Amino acid sequence: MLHNPFNAIVTPRPIGWISTRGTDGADNLAPCSFFNAVAYVPPQVMFASTSAKPDCDGTKDSVANIRETGVFCVNIVEMAMRDAMNATSATFARIVDEFAAAGIAKAACDTIACARIAAAPVNSPPGLRPRTGFPSRAPPPKRGRLVKPERGTEHGTDDRGDRRLGRL
């Protein structure tokens, strides 16, 4: 297999730790390295989920859950949580709770029916239904899904982030 230099073009690449909940109530937590801020007003971030799993209709758990419920939460990864974040990158069955599998404490989001990482310095659930399914020229299963919420931060911690990031 040839090395693809594209992965090294944009660096450093922030990691969006995306939490979702399926309609069955199972929580999912996955790191997404194709994540970034895209606008100030209104505050917007986006992530792209790449690859697919057989039990998720051509995508992965995060996007499958977002399609079902319309909600997710972006959790910002800090260096101290890198090992836990890496543990959640494993391929689990859809019914597995990655919070529990990686030993990560979760808390309820205030505005949506989704879990967030309790210890993350910033949690940002969108206020509006995200858009998924932008066209891709890549053949399955390599098609990506871009997910862009329409609202900013719900939780921010004063000791690890900007004081202006608090509750909306």
CATH number of 12-165: 2.30.110.10
Instruction: Look at residue 168 in the predicted model and tell me its pLDDT.
Output: 27
**Mean pLDDT, range 18-34, rounded to an integer:** 91
Six-digit token pair at 83? 């090992």
Q: Pick the more confident residue, 61 or 131.
A: 61
pLDDT for 48: 81
pTM to 2 decimal places: 0.72
Task: Give the three-class secondary structure for 65.
Answer: helix
Q: What is the pLDDT of residues 116-156, one digit of tens each?
A: 999 998 888 765 445 555 455 555 555 455 555 544 444 44
CA dihedral sign, ordered 116, 87, 62, 13: positive
How far is it, in rounded angstroms, from Cα 26 to Cα 4? 34
